[in-house]
Amino acid sequence: MTDTTQAQEMTDGFHLVIDALKHNDIDTIFGLVGIPITDLCRLAQAQGMKFIGFRHEQHAGNAAAIAGYMTKKPGICMTVSAPGFLNGLTALANATTNCFPMILISGSSEREIVDLQQGDYEEMDQLNAAKPYCKAAYRINKAEDIGIGIARAIRSAVSGRPGGVYLDLPAQLLAQTLDAAHGKRSLVKVVDAAPAQLPAPDSVQRALDVLKGAKKPLILLGKGAAYAQADADIRALVEKSGIPYLPMSMAKGLLPDTHAQSASAARSFVLAEADVVLLIGARLNWLLSHGKGKTWGAIPKKFIQIDISPTEIDSNVAIAAPLIGDIGSCVQALVKGIDAGGYQKPSAEWTGAIAERKDKNLTKMAATLEQNPSPMNFHSALRVIRDVVKANPEINIVNEGANTLDYARSIVDMYQPRKRFDSGTWGIMGIGMGFAIGAAVISKKPVIAIEGDSAFGFSGMELETICRYDLPVITVVFNNNGVYKGTDPNLNPNDPKDVPVTSFVKGARYDKMIEAFGGIGYNVETPEELDKALKEALASGKPTLINAVIDPNAGTESGRLTNLNPQSGKK
């Protein structure tokens, strides 16, 4: 007798993970390979997905997080177990704090070994370690649950207030096999992962009533407003209401910084003088002095707050008119209410006072920027970058450091939304190269990473990653030989050769680092040289690092930079 039974087609956990991601239109993975993730990433590449391999998991996680912020789809970071997972955990926690949707997927040891602490290779209870630092954490134990597990992770990352999700994949899961047809049926397509959440009509009316009663209203835009991608609705609200607005740093460009209603150049004045403040995607955390104190002046404030999370309301001060829902729906409702009539634009007295203060501060800043000291300081160098961005508004800007961050957010204007990425709510250093890589991969547009020399040190090895993938990233290192500045003395009375705690190697040539990996390096000492290097780098589209030599005395300890530091509220 002839056996006509046909061999059953099988699949395994490796294939199902990739199938589940592709089934949900996820096409890019950021990570760092190692057993068992290596085979998983090889398979992803063979199946047509883009894998961007890093030198450190934290930077892969940062790239995934900024990809999530730019696309509203969870960025994916893959790591190995224990140390690799822990390296990625910093980025996951930062993503959750900043409401960036991302999923950290890590291989792990088997539960039976971890629970008995039997000493497995890189043994660690990763699931419980992750839980305090992310929005949700899941472990998948059966191959047939991979589809539903990834669907849960995606929905958790993007629904409501977005954030980080941890997904634990024990090594034996990936090797599990099952019938291919059954595996295909187990995949889940996430439908309407972040549905619109409409505000209650009475809450909309309450907010409109508070706005109508305002004498000196102010709109404050946070990065949540930029993430929402409700750009046209937000612009309509600003322009139809006539209310001056103040963008937080990652909301810069949601409307052009040169917009007539922008109050950025009168920041301290409007925060102190406003009587009604409408918060859109912004939280009253440390970046806004928690909504109280001398930053906000003596005038009593009424706050209207748009947020998708009810628990954010009254977190620091009383909110007179909470508006709970997604930003797009809430802003549309306010525009509709303004269109219905009965609303009057702010008085010329209020807008004129702001314009007068803006003109005064902008004139003062222009005079400072026109100076050309030798060696360069932060202002003269940033003036060059400001002008290049003005001529090329599609450029992405990544910015981190102490003085480098504080000055750049005030000097470099942005013209398009979701083009500026910085240290965010945590004020975390080390986001530079990860954010730059993520922004370049997702946008396919040039990136200028404006880095303090200290901040650059956290992620500088990723220059190799930038060169390996031939990304159009221009890293500008503001090199003043140290943290804050490079002139601090040695305070050790017992060792005259000891090194000051804030100093770096004097005259370091960071440009030589990228040349070692095949990129282009420049060493510049004047604004003219910086301008020439930036323009050549943009024209080439090649990985470039510009070592911008800054006066070692040009720098102030960040906590004392009261005229620019965000918590001071001064301008």
Whether residue 565 has pLDDT greater than 50: no
Query: Could you give the CA distance from residue 129 to residue 222 in angstroms, rounded to a whole number?
Result: 30
Fold of 201-354: Rossmann fold (3.40.50)
Whose tokens are 């949700």? That residue is 136
Mean pLDDT, all residues of the chain:
94
End-to-end Cα spacing for the chain: 90
Specify the pairing of strand 102-108 against strand 520-524.
unpaired
Q: What pLDDT score was predicted for residue 558?
A: 64
Bridge partners, 169 (sequence order)? 107
Q: What pLDDT score was predicted for residue 571?
A: 29
277 falls in which pLDDT band (50, 70, 90)?
Answer: very high
Q: What pLDDT score was predicted for residue 567?
A: 34
Q: What pLDDT score was predicted for residue 290?
A: 95
Whether residue 562 has pLDDT greater than 50: no
Q: Which CATH architecture has domain 371-560?
A: 3-Layer(aba) Sandwich (3.40)
Residue partners of 320: CB distance under 8 A and separation at least 6: 206, 210, 302, 303, 304
Q: 10-186, which class in CATH?
A: alpha beta
Mean pLDDT for the stretch of residues 72-94: 97
Mean pLDDT for the stretch of residues 250-259: 98
Q: Convert 328-394 into a string of H (helix), E (strand) and C (coil).
A: HHHHHHHHHHHHCCCCCCCCHHHHHHHHHHHHHHHHHHHHHHHCCCCCECHHHHHHHHHHHHHHCCC
5 falls in which pLDDT band (50, 70, 90)?
Answer: very low
Residue 502 CB: number of other CB atoms within 10 A? 17
Whether residue 221 has pLDDT greater than 60: yes
Q: What percent of the chain has pLDDT over 70?
A: 96
Mean pLDDT for the stretch of residues 37-43: 95
- What is the tens place of the pLDDT at every residue in 133-192? 999 999 999 999 999 999 999 999 999 999 999 999 998 999 999 999 999 999 999 999
Q: Domain limits of the chain?
A: 10-186, 201-354, 371-560
Whether residue 559 has pLDDT greater than 80: no
- The answer to whether residues 519 and 532 touch, using CB atoms and an 8 Å cutoff, is no
Whether residue 110 has pLDDT greater than 90: no
Q: Do domains 201-354 and 371-560 have the same CATH topology?
A: yes
Give the pTM.
0.95
